[in-house]
Structure 1
Amino acid sequence: MGDDELLAERFEAHRSHLRAVAYRMLGSLSEADDAVQEAWLRLSRSDADGVANLGGWLTTVVSRVCLDMLRSRRSRGEEPLGVHLPDPIIEGAEPAGPEHEALLADSVGLALLVVLETLAPAERLAFVLHDLFGVPFDEIAAIVDRSPAAARQLASRARRRVRGAAPVPDTDLARQREVVDAFLTATRGGDFDALVAILAPDVVVRTDGGTLIPGEVVRGAESVARRSLTFARIADTVRPALVNGAAGVVAWSAGQPMSVVAFTITDGRVAELDILVGPDRLSRLDFTVLDD
C-alpha cells in the first residue's frame, strides 16, 4: 500500500466523527461534507507524518473550516429569515443492531439544532466541541483565538440559551413511538380532544417550507391540534421513521414525500414538532433508507 493510500485509509477512520462534528456545527449535511472534504485536502497537502494526534488535528481543522463558514453566512447576510430547520437525518424505524442503537443515543435532535442556529458562531463552536464532544477548553481557545477562560465563557453562554430554549426529550424510543402513534391515531380519527391531551400546553410547531412555501410557527395545544387535523387530510400515507435518532414520520402524497416530521417528546407529551415541507429541501434528502 502506497503512502497516499495509507493516508486516505487513516483519514477514512475519522470521517464519521468529523462529519458528526461538522453537521452539529452547521446543521447542513452538504456543508458538513464540504467541510470534511476540505479537511482531507489540507491533510493531503500537509506533512502528516509530523502529526502526533491525527484525530485531534483533523477535528481542529474541521472546526476552523466550520467556524469560517458560519462567519461567512453572517457577513454575506445568508442567515435564513423566518423559519429554517436544519437538514434532518432520516433512518428506518428500527435501529439496525447494537452499534446503530449506540449511534442513535448520541444523536442530536432537530429541536436542539434549531436552538444552535441562533447562537453566535464562536458560541456554537465552543458548545458543540465541549458539551457534545468533550474537547478541552484550551484546544477550543486556540481555534477561536481566545483564552481558555473566554472559551469557557462562550460555552457557558451557549449552554444557558440551550437550556432555556430546547426541551429535554424523553430518551425511551419505545415510549416515543407510543406517543407518536397516539398523535397519529387522533389526527386520523379527527379526535380534537385526544390531540389536545397528547400535546404539551405550550407545544411549538415549526414548519419550514424552503424557498417555495412560507414557513410558520404555531404555539399552543389547541392551535396545533387544529393544524394537525388539516395535515391528516392531505397525506395519503404516513410511514414511521427515525428523524435525528428520535421517533418521527415521513408523510407521502401521490408517491412522493411531502413532509418530514420530527417529534420532541417530553414527559410523555409532544413538546415540539419540526416539519420540513419545502420541495426544494425534500429533494435533497435520502428517503431510500425507508425502503423495505
Structure 2
Amino acid sequence: MSLSAHDIELFEQSRARLEAVAYRLLGSASDAEDMVQDTFLRWQATDRERVEQPAAWLTKVLTNLCLNQLTSARARRESYVGMWLPEPLLAGDRMLGPVDTVEQRESVSLAVLTLMERLSANERAVYVLREAFGYPHGEIAEILDLTESNCQQLYRRAKQHVVAGRSRVQVDEATARTIVEEFIAAANSGETRRLVELLTEDAVSVGDGGGKIPARPTPAIGALAVARLLCGAFRATDLRRQVLGGPAALYAEIVNGEPAVVVVVGDRIVGVLALEVTTEGVAAVRAQANPDKLGRVTRHWSASTPAEPVLDRW
C-alpha cells in the first residue's frame, strides 16, 4: 500500500523511540536499524485506517520483531569468536533513548546491556519497556501478549539479574576527561602499580575483537591482572600499530554514560575502551575493537567536533 505524507509523518514521529527500544533490546545499533526498517515495511503493508493508536501498534510490531531477532542472534553468538560485547554509542546519539533518570542511564550502560544477555527474551523486553521507557505493565502485557501478572513477575526476575552491585559514578564531559587522562597516564607509564591504584581489587577487563582484531579470549580478573594486560598493550607499540593500521590518537568521550578512551586512526574509530567507574574505582574495562560494531560510533564521531586528544600519538 502506498504511504501518504501523513502516514510517513506518523512513523517518523516514532522513529527515535523505536530505535532506542530496539538498541536496548538487541545491544546492536546495526540490528536495531534493521528492525526499525522492517517495522516501517510492516507499517507500509498494513491497513493503516484500522490502526487506532499508531505509536502503540509500531511499538508492538518492533518489539516482536526484536524478540525474533534475539533468538537468532543468540544462536549466532554461540559460534562468536571470543567475548561478545554490545555496540558502543557516543553521548548524544538518539539511539541511547531517554537518560533523564538513574534507572534510564543504568539500563543503557554497557554493563547492564551485557548482563541482559542472561535474560530470556520476554524478561529483556519487559525490563527495557518498563525500566527505560516507563510503560505500565498493562501496556507491556498487550505488546507481548502476556498477562499483567506475568509481566510483573518477569520484571522482578529481570531486576534481580541486572541489579548493580556498586554505585556507579555519574559523569559529565569534564569529569570523563579527567578520569580518562589519569587512566591513560597510568597505563602509558608502564608501572602497573599506578594503574592498580585506579582499579577496584576485583576489576575485570573484557575485549571484543569479533575474530577480526586480536583480543584476549577470556576476561582478565583482578586489579593486578588487568593492570598487567593494559600496560603490556601500551608497551607493544609495533604490534599495536600493525594491528590498528598506524599510529592512533586517544580521545576522552562519554560512551553509554561512561567515561571512555576512543582510539582513532585517521578518520576511523578503531577501538573504544569504556570504563565502568564506581565510588571505589574503575571496576571494569570493556574494549570494543570489532570493526563491525564501530560503524555508527564512527559516523557520529565524524559529524562531531571532538576536543583535543588526550594523547595525540599512541
TM-score, normalised relative to structure 1: 0.86
Matching residue of 1:200: 200
Alignment-derived partner of residue 288 in structure 1: 302
Distance 2:41 2:118 in 1: 30
Which shows bigger deviation, 143-152 or 63-72?
143-152
Corresponding residue number in structure 1 for 2:227: 225
* TM superposition shift of 1:177: 3.2
Q: 1:37, 1:124 → 2: CA distance? A: 21
- 1:245 is matched with which residue: 253, 257, 264? 257
Per-residue CA distance 1:96-123 (angstroms, 9 max, x = gap): 9xx9999555551111111112211111
Distance 2:166 2:117 in 1: 15
Cα distance in 1 for partners of 2:154, 2:63 equals 15
The amino acid of 2:63's aligned partner reads: S
* Conserved? CA contact 1:179–1:268, under 8 Å: no
Which residues in structure 2 correspond to 1:258-273 (within 5 Å)? 258-267=270-279, 269-273=281-285
Equivalenced residue count is: 283
| Paired position in structure 2 for 1:29 | 29
Deviations 1:84-105, CA, capped at 9 Å, x for gaps: 01111135xxx69xx9999555
1:172 match: 171
Offset of residue 157 of structure 1: 0.9
Are residues 1:79 and 2:93 paired?
no
1:90 alignment partner, SS class: coil
Match of 2:187 in 1: 187
Partner of 2:11, secondary structure, is: helix
2:64 partner SS: helix
Please state how far the C-alpha of 1:192 moved relative to its aligned partner: 2.1
Matches within 5 A, 1:91-110: 105=100, 106-107=104-105, 108-110=108-110
Task: State the alpha-carbon separation in 1 of the partners of residues 47 and 223 from structure 2.
Answer: 58
Which residue number in structure 2 is paired with residue 146 of structure 1? Answer: 146
* Structure 1 residues 155 and 199: alpha-carbon distance in aligned structure 2, compared to 1, 3 A threshold: same
Preserved CA contact (<8 Å) 2:206 2:287: yes
Paired residue secondary structure (2:273): strand
Residue aligning to 2:245: none
Q: Which moved more, 1:262-271 or 1:274-283?
A: 274-283
What is the aligned partner in structure 2 of residue 18 from structure 1?
18
Aligned-pair CA distance for 1:258: 3.5
Q: Could you list the runs of 4 or more consecutive aligned residues of structure 1 that deviate by over 6 angstroms after TM superposition?
A: 99-102
Gaps of 5+ in 2: 241-247, 307-314
Alpha carbons 2:205, 2:285 under 8 Å: kept: yes
Measure how far apart 1:208 and its partner are. Answer: 0.6
Q: Residue 216 of structure 1 aligns to which amino acid in structure 2?
A: T
Letter in 1 for 2:233: F
Shift of 1:189: 2.0
Unmatched segments (≥5 aa) in structure 1: none
| Contact map agreement 1:51 1:57 (CA 8 A) in 2 | yes
Tell me if the contact between 1:170 and 1:268 (Cα under 8 Å) persists in the aligned partners.
no
Indicate how the Cα distance of structure 1 residues 222 and 151 shifts in structure 2: closer, same or farther if over 3 A, else same: same
CA distance in 1, matches of 2:223, 2:47: 58
1: CA distance between counterparts of 2:35 and 2:139?
19
2-side partners of 1:55 and 1:143: how far apart? 12
Identity %, equivalent residues: 33
Rounded to whole Å, the distance in 1 between the matches of 2:73 and 2:267 is: 35
What one-letter code is carried by the residue in structure 2 that aligns with 1:30? S
**Secondary structure of 1:86's match?**
coil
RMSD value over aligned CA atoms? 2.8
What secondary structure, in the 3-state scheme, does the structure 2 residue paired with 1:78 have? helix
SS at match of 1:239: strand
8 Å contact from structure 2 (residues 176, 252) kept in 1: no
